[in-house]
Amino acid sequence: MKMNSRPPASAESLIAGRLAIAERRCQKPRPMHASSPRPASFSAPGPLRGSIAVPGDKSISHRALMLSALAIGESRVEGLLTGEDVLATAAAMRAMGASIERGDDDVWRIHGVGVGGLLQPEGALEMGNSGTSTRLLMGLVASHAITATFTGDASLSKRPMNRVIEPLSLMGADVTATPGGKGGTLPLMLRGISPAVPIDYRLPVASAQVKSAVLLAGLNTPGITRVIEPVATRDHSERMLRGFGAELEVEQDADGARIISIRGEAELQPQHIVVPGDPSSAAFPVVAALLVPGSAVTIANVGLNPTRAALFDVLRMMGGDIEFANPREVGGEPVADIVVRHSTLKGIETPVETVASMVDEYPILFVAAALAEGRTVARGLEELRVKESDRIAVMAEGLRAIGARVEELEDGLIIDGTGGDPLPGGATIAARLDHRIAMSFAVAGLVSKAAVTIDDMGPVATSFPGFTRLMGELGAVAA
Ligand code: S3P
């Protein structure tokens, strides 16, 4: 992301911002993706060729909206992902007082309320499928004297929220199940507190969402809030909080754990942010090009933050021909064009140290492993069981259904690859409201003899709108 400081807003623009609140309160709730399933079958009649750019980074987009909505004055965001998850964050920030508009030029203009200035939302905050929106926004609400109810779809309503409830409760927030809810999962009601209590919190799970929830709560908490992270997770929150002017320090203790300290009651300055392409979305065309014989594809402008990009290192370890062309830095985030050519992959034992830096990429890595020569052993993946679906079980079941040889472990998979031969295919895969499952099996369809049908491509709109069109531009066929 690129950030340029802009002068703080005038009193008039603040008043104008507040006046706009009433108008926004009248806006209709945002529609979530179509409830009727959208099945599709994918195949590749020939090599994949060409150059595409994937949509903006989902993690950076959420944070850009949240922090802009807390800065006083106008922030501008270019390249924002317009996936449903990010739109859920935008709707929630509007409901809490920010003005967020998308211009005809596709630049988003955001007028924030100031740290401490979030307003009581009138209705429930509808989070759709988005764990990131939920957990980060719970952090923001926790240190404001407002109450918000969080609701989500069937997938999100199964996901564990105690991991954020625990630290936010230590800071003074009160989280209760809504009538009919069972606690620990959505729907939940969070009553924030101001002033909240600063804490030192050691993350019990490697989770950027939990880290970010505590840091965002710390933003409006007097004194220093600290998060100790034994395993490094994506650091977009830290980079962006600093970029907006928060006082944030990162140190390392003797055991290599990162200690992140944020001074609360910060004043955020509006920024101009350019969001790079999402490496987690680029992963799908990258693996597709590696697997489909004769392919040569470029994916332009992909964010390659080291806390995100481990998939590409692992694919290279497997023999993947992947180059980073035109490497550059865009406002503190490394970016490059990825050039990828068909390769014969070899199975490996995937490194456990970098699980967090590719946590969303395992479903598509499993597809690559299913076509590799020899055995791939991927372990240390307990967290995959609590993503949008249980990605270990769902990938094992789906890969078996299309003829791959897979053994499911409690914390991962063992996959014996075909050595480059196509998979038998010929099955319908249940995407289970999980965008990355849907896209992974779409790619598997490109290297299967008989059609692979995804029962519902609808969830793909949460993170990668335009997936089917872009894959089509490279030569894939969806029917
Ligand atoms: C995200 C962090 C990851 C990732 C998710 C986005 C973020 O979750 O799976 O898609 O933006 O912070 P965890 O931090 O819970 O592992």
CATH number of the domain bearing residue 464: 3.65.10.10
**Does one domain contain both 384 and 464?**
yes
Q: CA–CA separation, 68 vs 114, rounded Å?
A: 9
Q: Which of 85, 214, 354, 359 to mutate to test the pocket of ligand 1 (most atoms within 8 A of CB)?
A: 359
Last residue of a domain, one of 274, 309, 331: 274
Q: How many CB atoms lie within 10 A of CB 333?
A: 24
Residue nearest atom 15 in ligand 1 by C-alpha distance: 207
Residue nearest atom 9 in ligand 1 by C-alpha distance: 360
Q: How many CB atoms lie within 10 A of CB 190?
A: 25
Q: Is residue 16 part of a domain?
A: no
393 pLDDT band, cuts 50/70/90, is: very high
Residue nearest atom 4 in ligand 1 by C-alpha distance: 360
Residue nearest atom 10 in ligand 1 by C-alpha distance: 360
**Does one domain contain both 96 and 238?**
yes
Q: What's the sign of the alpha-carbon dihedral 243, 387, 290, 439?
A: negative
**Does one domain contain both 247 and 394?**
no
Q: CA–CA separation, 439 vs 383, rounded Å?
A: 20
Whether residue 360 lies in the annotated active site:
yes
Q: Is residue 77 part of a domain?
A: yes
For 75, the domain range is 58-274
**Does one domain contain both 338 and 399?**
yes
Instruction: Work out the average pLDDT over 356-369.
Output: 99
Q: What is the pLDDT of residues 438-451, one digit of tens each?
A: 999 999 999 999 99
Last residue of a domain, one of 227, 244, 274: 274
**Does one domain contain both 392 and 263?**
no
| pTM score of the predicted model | 0.93
For residue 208, the CA-to-ligand 1 centroid distance in Å is 6
**Does one domain contain both 338 and 445?**
yes
Q: What is the pLDDT of residues 135-185, one digit of tens each?
A: 999 999 999 999 999 999 999 999 999 999 999 999 999 999 987 778 899
Q: Is residue 33 part of a domain?
A: no
Give me the catalytic one of 360, 416, 421, 456. Answer: 360
Q: What is the pLDDT of residues 253-291, one digit of tens each?
A: 999 999 999 999 999 999 999 999 999 999 999 999 999
Note whether 460 and 438 are within 8 A (CB). Answer: yes
**Does one domain contain both 320 and 398?**
yes
For residue 16, the CA-to-ligand 1 centroid distance in Å is 35
**Does one domain contain both 150 and 193?**
yes
Written as one string, the DSSP assignment of 176-242 is EEPTT--SSSSSEEEE--SSPPP-EEE-SS--HHHHHHHHHHHHTSSSEEEEEESS----HHHHHHH
12 pLDDT band, cuts 50/70/90, is: very low
Q: Is residue 427 part of a domain?
A: yes
pLDDT of amino acid 430: 97
Q: Is residue 8 part of a domain?
A: no
Q: Is residue 460 part of a domain?
A: yes
pLDDT of amino acid 33: 54
Instruction: Work out the average pLDDT over 289-298.
Output: 98
Q: Is residue 407 part of a domain?
A: yes
* Residue 133 pLDDT exceeds 90: yes
- How many structural domains comprise the chain? 2
Q: How many CB atoms lie within 10 A of CB 421?
A: 10
pLDDT of amino acid 2: 43
**Does one domain contain both 81 and 222?**
yes
Q: CA–CA separation, 354 vs 356, rounded Å?
A: 5
**Does one domain contain both 293 and 352?**
yes
Annotated binding site: 58-59, 63, 131, 159, 207, 209, 360, 387, 391, 436
By three-state DSSP, how is residue 327 classified?
Answer: strand
Instruction: Work out the average pLDDT over 12-26.
Output: 36
**Does one domain contain both 249 and 138?**
yes
Q: Which of 132, 140, 360, 463 to mutate to test the pocket of ligand 1 (most atoms within 8 A of CB)?
A: 132
**Does one domain contain both 70 and 192?**
yes
By three-state DSSP, how is residue 117 classified?
Answer: coil
Residues in contact with ligand 1 by the CB-under-6-Å rule are: 59, 132, 207-209, 212, 233-234, 359-360, 383
Q: Is residue 34 part of a domain?
A: no
Last residue of a domain, one of 274, 309, 338: 274
Q: CA–CA separation, 104 vs 399, rounded Å?
A: 43
